[in-house]
Amino acid sequence: MSALVIAIGNRLRADDGVGHHVADLLDPMPGVTLLRVHQLTPEIAAGMQSAETVIFLDADPGADVPSLDRIAEPAEGGGPFSHSMNPATLVALSARLYGFRGEAWLCRLYARDFSASPEISPEAAAHLQEGARLVQQLLEARCTSRP
């Protein structure tokens, strides 16, 4: 089983970098690749094609606690080529152009402070372990079980 974990955010914008901090806490596993980006771009879609599981780690100002949500491909008509790319449109783009047929997940991470700072807020830091636990559990379930 192969998995791709994509940590999204800017570590110089306080809580915007929480995805990278959660990625720092993950145990290395065979078959799991970690990609760190400031933002999602169409070029990432090509690298998703061979993954059976893709997990996006992202700051979410609406998340009170870390959560994992399965991403369903967006309905036709939603153009993936806009000025902002989100995980669902990237999954759709990878499926359409590169044949991605795996499952994709979004780990929504607590974030409130997006100021110019290399330090995350104490409130966001308090949720890092739980975010990492959720992602690690999903990776272990997907990467150690065989159908």
Task: Write down the pTM of the prediction.
Answer: 0.91
Using an 8 Å Cβ cutoff, are 51 and 143 in contact? no
Domains of the chain are: 3-145 (3.40.50.1450)
pLDDT at position 80: 47
Closest CA to 66 of 25, 98, 101: 25
Using an 8 Å Cβ cutoff, are 142 and 102 in contact? no
pLDDT at position 96: 92
Using an 8 Å Cβ cutoff, are 60 and 87 in contact? no
What strand order describes the sheet that includes 103-110? 32-37, 3-8, 53-60, 103-110, 67-71
Segments in the chain below pLDDT 50? 75-78, 80, 82, 147
